[in-house]
Structure 1
Amino acid sequence: MERFTYKRSEKLKSRKQIELLFIKKQSISIYPIRISYLQVNEEIEANSLKVGVGTSKRNFKKAIDRNRVKRLLRESYRLYKLPLHKIVQEKNIHLIVFFHYYSRNILSQTELHKKMELGINKIVALLHEPLA
Protein backbone atom coordinates (compact mmCIF):
# COMPACT_ATOMS: atom_id res chain seq x y z
CA MET A 1 0.00 0.00 0.00
CA GLU A 2 1.35 3.42 -0.97
CA ARG A 3 1.39 6.04 1.75
CA PHE A 4 0.96 9.73 1.09
CA THR A 5 2.97 11.17 3.94
CA TYR A 6 5.43 14.00 4.38
CA LYS A 7 7.62 12.84 7.23
CA ARG A 8 10.01 14.92 9.24
CA SER A 9 12.99 13.00 7.86
CA GLU A 10 11.98 14.13 4.37
CA LYS A 11 11.97 17.87 5.15
CA LEU A 12 14.83 20.07 4.03
CA LYS A 13 16.09 21.93 7.10
CA SER A 14 19.87 21.97 6.88
CA ARG A 15 21.19 25.46 6.17
CA LYS A 16 24.24 23.94 4.43
CA GLN A 17 22.08 21.91 2.07
CA ILE A 18 19.82 24.88 1.32
CA GLU A 19 22.80 27.11 0.52
CA LEU A 20 24.34 24.39 -1.63
CA LEU A 21 21.05 23.98 -3.48
CA PHE A 22 20.78 27.67 -4.34
CA ILE A 23 24.42 27.91 -5.43
CA LYS A 24 24.58 24.85 -7.70
CA LYS A 25 20.90 24.35 -8.52
CA GLN A 26 19.20 23.21 -11.64
CA SER A 27 15.70 24.56 -11.94
CA ILE A 28 12.54 24.27 -13.95
CA SER A 29 9.61 26.61 -13.87
CA ILE A 30 5.96 25.75 -14.17
CA TYR A 31 4.03 28.89 -13.40
CA PRO A 32 3.61 29.73 -10.48
CA ILE A 33 6.14 27.22 -9.08
CA ARG A 34 9.90 27.25 -9.61
CA ILE A 35 11.39 23.89 -8.76
CA SER A 36 15.07 23.89 -7.85
CA TYR A 37 16.77 20.53 -7.51
CA LEU A 38 20.26 19.23 -6.97
CA GLN A 39 21.64 15.73 -7.14
CA VAL A 40 24.09 15.34 -4.26
CA ASN A 41 26.94 12.84 -4.06
CA GLU A 42 27.09 12.37 -0.30
CA GLU A 43 24.36 10.60 1.59
CA ILE A 44 21.65 12.86 3.00
CA GLU A 45 21.08 11.37 6.46
CA ALA A 46 18.72 8.36 6.37
CA ASN A 47 16.48 9.63 3.60
CA SER A 48 17.77 10.08 0.06
CA LEU A 49 15.26 12.82 -0.79
CA LYS A 50 14.94 16.17 1.01
CA VAL A 51 12.20 18.64 0.10
CA GLY A 52 11.54 22.25 1.09
CA VAL A 53 8.86 24.78 0.19
CA GLY A 54 8.75 28.55 0.34
CA THR A 55 7.52 31.86 -0.99
CA SER A 56 8.80 35.40 -0.74
CA LYS A 57 7.79 38.08 1.69
CA ARG A 58 7.81 40.52 -1.23
CA ASN A 59 4.85 38.77 -2.85
CA PHE A 60 2.89 38.04 0.32
CA LYS A 61 3.24 40.69 3.01
CA LYS A 62 1.04 38.89 5.54
CA ALA A 63 2.41 35.79 7.24
CA ILE A 64 -1.00 34.15 7.08
CA ASP A 65 -0.86 34.27 3.26
CA ARG A 66 2.71 32.94 3.11
CA ASN A 67 1.81 30.11 5.46
CA ARG A 68 -1.24 29.23 3.38
CA VAL A 69 0.83 29.04 0.20
CA LYS A 70 3.44 26.86 1.90
CA ARG A 71 0.71 24.61 3.30
CA LEU A 72 -0.79 24.20 -0.18
CA LEU A 73 2.62 23.41 -1.67
CA ARG A 74 3.37 20.78 0.98
CA GLU A 75 -0.05 19.20 0.51
CA SER A 76 0.23 18.99 -3.27
CA TYR A 77 3.78 17.59 -2.98
CA ARG A 78 2.57 14.99 -0.50
CA LEU A 79 -0.07 13.77 -2.94
CA TYR A 80 2.12 13.59 -6.05
CA LYS A 81 5.55 12.61 -4.71
CA LEU A 82 5.45 8.88 -5.44
CA PRO A 83 7.06 8.98 -8.93
CA LEU A 84 9.90 11.08 -7.53
CA HIS A 85 10.46 8.67 -4.65
CA LYS A 86 10.44 5.70 -7.00
CA ILE A 87 13.12 7.08 -9.31
CA VAL A 88 15.31 8.13 -6.37
CA GLN A 89 15.14 4.60 -4.99
CA GLU A 90 15.61 2.93 -8.39
CA LYS A 91 18.67 4.95 -9.34
CA ASN A 92 19.96 5.09 -5.75
CA ILE A 93 20.58 8.84 -5.94
CA HIS A 94 20.42 11.57 -3.31
CA LEU A 95 18.28 14.54 -4.24
CA ILE A 96 17.47 17.93 -2.72
CA VAL A 97 14.35 19.68 -4.05
CA PHE A 98 12.89 23.10 -3.26
CA PHE A 99 9.49 24.34 -4.45
CA HIS A 100 9.31 28.14 -4.62
CA TYR A 101 5.95 29.84 -5.25
CA TYR A 102 6.61 33.10 -7.11
CA SER A 103 3.20 34.44 -8.15
CA ARG A 104 1.49 37.33 -6.35
CA ASN A 105 -1.90 35.62 -6.19
CA ILE A 106 -2.81 32.27 -4.67
CA LEU A 107 -4.02 29.60 -7.08
CA SER A 108 -6.82 27.27 -6.12
CA GLN A 109 -5.86 23.96 -4.61
CA THR A 110 -6.85 21.93 -7.68
CA GLU A 111 -4.86 24.17 -10.05
CA LEU A 112 -1.84 23.98 -7.78
CA HIS A 113 -2.14 20.18 -7.64
CA LYS A 114 -2.05 20.04 -11.45
CA LYS A 115 1.03 22.28 -11.60
CA MET A 116 2.80 20.23 -8.92
CA GLU A 117 2.08 16.99 -10.75
CA LEU A 118 3.47 18.47 -13.98
CA GLY A 119 6.58 19.70 -12.17
CA ILE A 120 7.31 16.41 -10.45
CA ASN A 121 6.80 14.49 -13.69
CA LYS A 122 9.20 16.87 -15.42
CA ILE A 123 11.88 16.28 -12.76
CA VAL A 124 11.38 12.52 -13.06
CA ALA A 125 11.79 12.76 -16.83
CA LEU A 126 15.00 14.77 -16.43
CA LEU A 127 16.37 12.25 -13.94
CA HIS A 128 15.63 9.40 -16.37
CA GLU A 129 17.87 10.99 -18.99
CA PRO A 130 21.44 9.71 -18.99
CA LEU A 131 24.10 12.18 -17.88
CA ALA A 132 26.05 13.74 -20.75
Structure 2
Amino acid sequence: MKFSLGKNKKLKSRKAIERLFTDGQSIRKGAVRCVFHMGERCNSHQMGVSVSKRYFKKATDRNRVKRLLRESYRLQQHQLQTETPLEFLFIYQSGKIPDFKHCISLVAGLIKELNKRYPST
Protein backbone atom coordinates (compact mmCIF):
# COMPACT_ATOMS: atom_id res chain seq x y z
CA MET A 1 0.00 0.00 0.00
CA LYS A 2 1.37 3.38 -1.00
CA PHE A 3 1.15 6.14 1.60
CA SER A 4 2.27 9.06 -0.54
CA LEU A 5 0.32 12.25 -1.01
CA GLY A 6 1.10 13.16 -4.60
CA LYS A 7 0.46 16.27 -6.60
CA ASN A 8 -2.79 14.90 -8.05
CA LYS A 9 -4.22 14.45 -4.52
CA LYS A 10 -3.75 18.08 -3.45
CA LEU A 11 -6.52 20.61 -3.83
CA LYS A 12 -4.98 23.78 -5.23
CA SER A 13 -7.42 25.19 -7.77
CA ARG A 14 -8.98 28.48 -6.70
CA LYS A 15 -12.20 27.63 -8.56
CA ALA A 16 -12.46 24.26 -6.81
CA ILE A 17 -11.96 25.85 -3.40
CA GLU A 18 -14.60 28.50 -4.14
CA ARG A 19 -16.95 25.74 -5.29
CA LEU A 20 -16.39 23.99 -1.95
CA PHE A 21 -17.64 26.99 -0.02
CA THR A 22 -20.59 27.71 -2.31
CA ASP A 23 -21.88 24.18 -3.01
CA GLY A 24 -20.16 22.04 -0.38
CA GLN A 25 -21.29 20.57 2.90
CA SER A 26 -19.52 20.78 6.23
CA ILE A 27 -18.82 18.49 9.17
CA ARG A 28 -16.86 19.16 12.33
CA LYS A 29 -14.90 17.03 14.79
CA GLY A 30 -13.30 18.91 17.64
CA ALA A 31 -11.29 21.84 16.32
CA VAL A 32 -11.24 20.63 12.70
CA ARG A 33 -13.96 21.54 10.23
CA CYS A 34 -14.14 19.64 6.95
CA VAL A 35 -15.82 21.24 3.95
CA PHE A 36 -16.41 18.68 1.18
CA HIS A 37 -17.99 18.33 -2.22
CA MET A 38 -18.16 15.63 -4.85
CA GLY A 39 -15.31 16.15 -7.31
CA GLU A 40 -16.39 16.89 -10.85
CA ARG A 41 -13.15 16.98 -12.78
CA CYS A 42 -10.94 14.69 -10.72
CA ASN A 43 -10.67 10.92 -10.62
CA SER A 44 -9.22 10.68 -7.10
CA HIS A 45 -9.77 12.37 -3.78
CA GLN A 46 -8.24 15.84 -3.44
CA MET A 47 -7.59 17.50 -0.10
CA GLY A 48 -6.40 20.83 1.18
CA VAL A 49 -5.53 22.27 4.59
CA SER A 50 -6.15 25.74 5.95
CA VAL A 51 -5.20 27.40 9.23
CA SER A 52 -6.33 30.94 9.92
CA LYS A 53 -4.10 33.83 10.86
CA ARG A 54 -6.81 34.74 13.35
CA TYR A 55 -5.79 31.83 15.62
CA PHE A 56 -2.03 31.69 14.93
CA LYS A 57 -0.24 34.97 14.28
CA LYS A 58 3.12 33.32 13.55
CA ALA A 59 3.51 31.59 10.19
CA THR A 60 5.67 28.89 11.78
CA ASP A 61 2.78 27.86 14.04
CA ARG A 62 0.32 27.82 11.13
CA ASN A 63 2.69 25.72 9.05
CA ARG A 64 3.20 23.29 11.95
CA VAL A 65 -0.55 22.69 12.27
CA LYS A 66 -0.90 22.27 8.49
CA ARG A 67 1.94 19.73 8.45
CA LEU A 68 0.33 17.77 11.29
CA LEU A 69 -3.04 17.64 9.54
CA ARG A 70 -1.52 16.71 6.17
CA GLU A 71 0.57 13.94 7.72
CA SER A 72 -2.34 12.51 9.70
CA TYR A 73 -4.43 12.40 6.51
CA ARG A 74 -1.57 10.89 4.50
CA LEU A 75 -1.32 7.99 6.95
CA GLN A 76 -5.08 7.37 6.97
CA GLN A 77 -6.07 8.12 3.38
CA HIS A 78 -6.58 4.43 2.60
CA GLN A 79 -9.45 4.36 5.13
CA LEU A 80 -11.47 6.74 2.98
CA GLN A 81 -13.36 4.10 1.02
CA THR A 82 -15.85 6.07 -1.00
CA GLU A 83 -15.95 5.38 -4.72
CA THR A 84 -17.04 8.88 -5.65
CA PRO A 85 -14.05 11.25 -5.83
CA LEU A 86 -14.28 13.94 -3.18
CA GLU A 87 -12.73 17.36 -2.87
CA PHE A 88 -12.36 18.45 0.74
CA LEU A 89 -10.63 21.04 2.86
CA PHE A 90 -9.60 20.64 6.50
CA ILE A 91 -9.88 23.93 8.40
CA TYR A 92 -8.31 24.08 11.87
CA GLN A 93 -10.27 26.40 14.18
CA SER A 94 -8.57 26.64 17.54
CA GLY A 95 -5.78 28.69 19.06
CA LYS A 96 -3.99 25.72 20.60
CA ILE A 97 -1.35 23.75 18.68
CA PRO A 98 -2.47 20.09 18.72
CA ASP A 99 -0.22 17.12 19.24
CA PHE A 100 0.09 14.44 16.57
CA LYS A 101 -2.10 11.85 18.31
CA HIS A 102 -4.92 14.36 18.65
CA CYS A 103 -4.67 15.24 14.93
CA ILE A 104 -4.82 11.58 13.99
CA SER A 105 -7.96 11.03 16.07
CA LEU A 106 -9.66 14.13 14.60
CA VAL A 107 -8.90 13.16 11.00
CA ALA A 108 -9.97 9.56 11.67
CA GLY A 109 -13.34 10.80 12.93
CA LEU A 110 -13.79 12.99 9.86
CA ILE A 111 -12.92 10.10 7.54
CA LYS A 112 -15.47 7.87 9.28
CA GLU A 113 -18.12 10.53 8.84
CA LEU A 114 -17.28 10.91 5.13
CA ASN A 115 -17.53 7.12 4.72
CA LYS A 116 -21.02 7.26 6.28
CA ARG A 117 -22.18 10.02 3.95
CA TYR A 118 -20.76 8.42 0.81
CA PRO A 119 -20.83 4.65 1.34
CA SER A 120 -18.97 2.42 -1.10
CA THR A 121 -21.06 -0.04 -3.06
**Alignment TM-score, normalising by the size of structure 2:** 0.93
Q: Counterpart in 2 of 1:43?
A: 41
1:75 partner SS: helix
Q: Deviations over 1:84-113 (max 9, x none)?
A: 1x323xxxx231010000011011101110
Q: What is the distance in 2 between the residues matched to 1:75 and 1:102? A: 18
Q: What is the distance in 2 between the residues matched to 1:52 and 1:59? A: 18
Q: Indicate the percent of aligned positions where both proteins have the same amino acid.
A: 40
**Alignment TM-score, normalising by the size of structure 1:** 0.86
Q: What is the distance in 1 between the residues matched to 2:92 and 2:103? A: 10
Q: Counterpart in 2 of 1:127?
A: 118
On the 8 A contact 2:48/2:90 being kept in 1, the answer is yes
Question: Could you list the runs of 4 or more consecutive aligned residues of structure 1 that deviate by over 6 angstroms after TM superposition?
Answer: none
Structure 1 pair 4/129, CA: closer, same or farther in 2 (3 Å)? closer
2:94 partner SS: coil
Matches within 5 A, 1:1-132: 2-40=1-39, 42-44=40-42, 47-84=43-80, 86-88=81-83, 93-128=84-119
Q: What is the distance in 1 between the residues matched to 2:29 and 2:68? A: 16
User: What's the CA shift for 1:116?
Assistant: 0.7
Larger radius of gyration: 1
Structure 1: gaps of 5 or more residues: none
Q: What is the distance in 2 between the residues matched to 1:76 and 1:99? A: 11
Structure 2: gaps of 5 or more residues: none
Aligned length in residues? 121
